[in-house]
């Protein structure tokens, strides 16, 4: 074995252990106490690993929570670049498909703990929520540039209207079939350009 073929020092990481830790973290976040009830000890016990196994991978509870939330939230699809309507409907469907999921319960527990855990919430918004919002922003800006949307569009306000109508107001809230399409259609009647 040559020097370049040698394994790096230390014990190899176990993907199975990491998966168990992430799953245990999400399970605990989805339960009633949420962030307040989650401890490294509780995660270790539920995952069947030692605390040192967790600390070897994550320097803090907040880092573990953020990684778990990031792992649970599927990335939004990259829009095809067709019409703004088609791209927004695709994104809206992906967002409404998340309702009722375990991630949705975790989301509400993190939001509910925002006042007590402001740094965690700020990092959650920056690292997980904002990259998803950037995808929606790009679609809206492209619509302004290509004339599908009004030139004077306030992109942030339009995004708030769209996302606000798609994010459930309470855990386990459901929407009827066609909700994503109806929301996008209503929004575009206000922000789209008038056909001549």
Please give the model's pTM, rounded to 2 decimal places. 0.76
**What is the CATH superfamily name and number for domain 74-191?**
Tetracycline Repressor, domain 2 (1.10.357.10)
Q: Is 109 exposed, middle or buried (0-12, 13-18, 19+ CB in 10 A)?
A: buried
**What is the CATH superfamily name and number for domain 12-71?**
Homeodomain-like (1.10.10.60)
Spatial distance between the Cα atoms of 52 and 37, rounded to a whole number of angstroms: 20
Element housing 168 (H / E): none
Position 7 confidence tier, pLDDT thresholds 50, 70, 90: very low
Position 189 confidence tier, pLDDT thresholds 50, 70, 90: very high
Q: Examine the pLDDT at 192 and tell me if it is beyond 80.
A: yes
Instruction: Confirm if 187 and 104 have CB atoms less than 8 A apart.
Output: no
- Measured from the Cβ of residue 5, the count of other Cβ atoms closer than 10 Å reads 6
Furthest C-alpha separation in the chain: 72
Instruction: Confirm if 133 and 163 have CB atoms less than 8 A apart.
Output: yes
Tell me the per-residue pLDDT of 64-120, one tens digit each, with 9 for 90 and over. 999 998 888 777 888 888 899 999 999 998 888 765 566 667 777 777 777 788 888
Domain residue limits, the chain? 12-71, 74-191
pLDDT of residue 71: 84
């Amino acid at each position: 074995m040559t020097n370049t073929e040698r394994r790096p020092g230390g014990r190899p990481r176990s993907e199975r252990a990491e998966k168990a830790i992430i799953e245990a973290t999400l399970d605990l976040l989805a339960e009633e106490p949420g962030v307040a009830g989650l401890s490294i000890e509780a995660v270790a016990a539920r995952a069947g690993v030692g605390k040192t196994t967790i600390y070897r991978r994550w320097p803090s509870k907040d880092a573990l929570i953020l990684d778990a939330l990031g792992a649970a939230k599927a990335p939004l699809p990259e829009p095809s670049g067709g019409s703004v309507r088609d791209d927004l409907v695709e994104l809206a469907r992906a967002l409404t498909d998340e309702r009722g999921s375990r991630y949705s319960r975790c989301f509400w527990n993190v939001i509910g703990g925002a006042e007590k855990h402001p740094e965690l919430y700020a990092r959650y918004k920056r690292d997980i929520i904002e990259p998803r919002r950037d995808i929606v922003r790009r679609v809206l800006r492209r619509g302004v540039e290509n004339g599908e949307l009004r030139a004077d569009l306030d992109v942030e306000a339009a995004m708030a209207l769209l996302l606000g109508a798609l994010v459930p107001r309470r855990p386990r809230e459901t929407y009827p079939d066609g909700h994503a399409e109806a929301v996008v259609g209503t929004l575009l009647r206000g922000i789209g350009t008038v056909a001549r």
